[in-house]
């Protein structure tokens, strides 16, 4: 049984795909984190975000995070999906879904996964403002 779904794509991310992957009748809790592109950061209006990744290394690290979450928490399945390319306000750059028999494990694993992703996965975003742009080594 495959308990990990990893995706790095320029296609639109699907919340339903992530949910369907982790859904299982043995699990009493599913926790989902959805990152969205917001219209403001540090009191500056954001026009759009552009995500770039070192693909093979990003996928490898996302898989490592998922494996560590499965080992560390009592979770059944985990999906970590991240978008590349230009995203508009309201678009979804990242989805993490986790299923577990009990809600606490799902919440903890989801928090662990997004925090680890932000710290270790080689994905960068360029924030575009009315008056310029800046590269940021962080996630939404």
Beta partners for residue 72, in sequence order: none
Average pLDDT over residues 1-26: 96
Q: pLDDT band at 139, cuts 50/70/90?
A: very low
Q: Where residue 140 falls among pLDDT bands split at 50, 70, 90?
A: very low
132 Ramachandran zone, left/alpha/beta (phi>0; psi -120 to 50):
left
Structure tokens at 50: 């552009």
Q: Which of 35, 28, 25 has its CA nearest to residue 80?
A: 35
Tens of pLDDT, residues 82-131: 999 999 999 999 999 999 999 999 999 999 999 999 999 999 999 999 88
| CATH number listed for the domain at residues 4-136 | 3.90.1170.40
- For the chain, give every domain's residue range: 4-136
Looking at per-residue confidence, does 132 or 77 come out higher?
Answer: 77
Q: Tell which phi-psi region holds residue 85, choosing left (phi > 0), alpha (psi between -120 and 50) or beta.
A: left
Mean pLDDT for all residues in the chain: 94
Q: Look at strands 94-100 and 132-136 and give their pairing.
A: unpaired
Q: How far apart are CA 102 and CA 15, in angstroms?
A: 21
């Amino acid at each position: 049984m495959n308990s990990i779904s990893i995706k790095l794509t320029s296609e639109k991310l699907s919340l339903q795909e992530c949910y369907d992957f982790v859904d299982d009748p043995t699990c009493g809790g599913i926790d989902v984190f959805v990152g969205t592109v917001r219209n403001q950061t540090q009191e500056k209006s954001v026009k759009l975000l552009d995500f770039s990744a070192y693909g093979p290394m990003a996928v490898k690290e996302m898989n490592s995070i998922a494996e560590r979450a499965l080992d560390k928490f009592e979770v059944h399945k985990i999906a970590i999906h991240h978008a590349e390319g230009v995203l508009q306000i309201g678009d979804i750059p990242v989805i993490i879904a986790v299923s577990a028999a009990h809600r606490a494990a799902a919440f903890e694993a989801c928090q662990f996964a997004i925090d680890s992703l932000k710290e270790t996965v080689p994905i960068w975003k360029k924030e575009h403002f009315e008056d310029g742009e800046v590269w940021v080594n962080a996630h939404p």
